[in-house]
Amino acid sequence: MYDVVIIGAGVIGCSVARELSRYEMKLAVIDKSSDIGEGTSKANSGIVHAGYDAKVGSLKAKLNVEGNRLMEQLASELDIPFRRNGSLVLCFSDGEIEQLEKLYENGKKNNVPNLQIINKVEVKELEPNISEEVVSALYASTGGIVCPFTLTLALAENAFSNGVEFMLEQEVLRVDKIQEEGKTHYCIDTNKGRLETKIVVNAAGVYADLFHNMVSDNKIKITARKGEYCLFDKASSNLVDKTIFQMPSKNGKGILVTPTIHGNLMIGPSALDVEDKESTNTTASALEEIMKKASRSVKNLPMRQIITSFSGLRAHEKGDDFIIGEIIDAPGFIDAAGIESPGLTCAPAIGKFITEIIRNMILTTKKNVFISRRKGIHNITELSKEERRNLIENNPAYANVICRCETITEGEILEAIHRPLGATTLDGIKRRTRAGSGRCQAGFCTPKTMEILARELKIDIEEITKFGGGSKLITGKNKEI
């Protein structure tokens, strides 16, 4: 019998797990994927939103501003890259100024600090490559950028270090509400057996409605909203410094142009509601539309420097707000549903919010020892010459460059494999180290990375996958002649 089982090892599930691990509880996180953050959390813009566009009084507004405030300390504790680069919402005509002013007033009511409406000259001073069409902009200095992979993994690793069990490649098939002697608990049937728990936290992303509807008569529907992106080579990194938005619409925050925390440039996302909750393909028409709209914001976007495209699915609920809290007719079942943008920003605040709900349900005490800090993987390119030399003297694997595009060494890959909740797939290595994220998109480093994985995991190289399941890269060996 667990105290709490969290369904979903994305950024929300892992944030809740870390906050709950401060207390004396038996905790588990369960996910059908082979790694942390394989759902919505793996494919988003990595923007830490300021919070000016959320509806006043909504959970989105409250948790966005709070999550933004918490992000700096969290990044320090978990040793993850984070930068407050600021954001701009562009106004392209005098007719849009009234809408921009409403956005400003909305942000003030949401208690977003340091908002300004600036004129064209001031915009051009901040961003020389901005479109000549721009007449003014809303400037939010508290906007930021973070690595969504690293944030999610760091939360999970820290939760694991504080005693949380992680059950990966374990798909939830059914959740049953069991009522005995006036008390309610839950049985969770999976492809690997049954779990019992006093409390369930439903952080299952686009599948949150599936599990909610298993235990409640008050049904909800989560729509998968696909967003497609284009990623540019680092040669384009200096084109803009701020995150550049267009005016938000009912389907989202519109097409953005932003630097990433690792020095690339990114544009997107599109917004298309899809029935298939596994549909993460990209389409030529959507990518062309993204490029066209992004070019309205920033002059001379170097489209020939796009190195990859990708898409992710956002969990949209028709009420256009997060659904967070205990279900009325399912005591002990807590939803974290409909968590779309700005969900990544809100994650630290959502973790605390749900933890407080659970603390009011379970009599528990804080642990005497909570490990609040986590050390990330060495980044050889960010070390001084002396630090690099000392690291290589202690372990020569840090001198063996495997990924030339990103300058990732064998030592860094070994760290990724052997740390808590270590990598077991090529994508797992990529998200932890960026090996394969550069210009050649893993064209050269894949074979060597596979060899290292096979050696360290003590499995045959044929068993190595891209992201678990049936995603094998080698289907067999040639017969000897």
For the annotated catalytic residues, the residue numbers are 49
Evaluate whether 206 touches 313 at the Cβ level (below 8 Å): yes
Q: Measuring CA to CA, which residue among 315, 308, 203 is closest to residue 252?
A: 315
Q: How many CB atoms lie within 10 A of CB 276?
A: 10
Evaluate whether 272 touches 284 at the Cβ level (below 8 Å): no
Amino acid at 478: N
Alpha helices in 175-267 (DSSP H): 208-215
Residues 6+ apart with CB under 8 A from 26: 1, 2, 3, 4
Residues 6+ apart with CB under 8 A from 177: 184, 186, 215, 330, 333
Q: Which is it for strands 222-232 and 265-268: parallel, antiparallel or unpaired?
A: antiparallel
**DSSP structure class, residue 425:** S
Angle between helices 148-161 and 426-433 (to 10 degrees): 100
Q: Measuring CA to CA, which residue among 197, 277, 143 is closest to residue 30?
A: 197
DSSP 34-48: SSTT-SGGGSS--EE
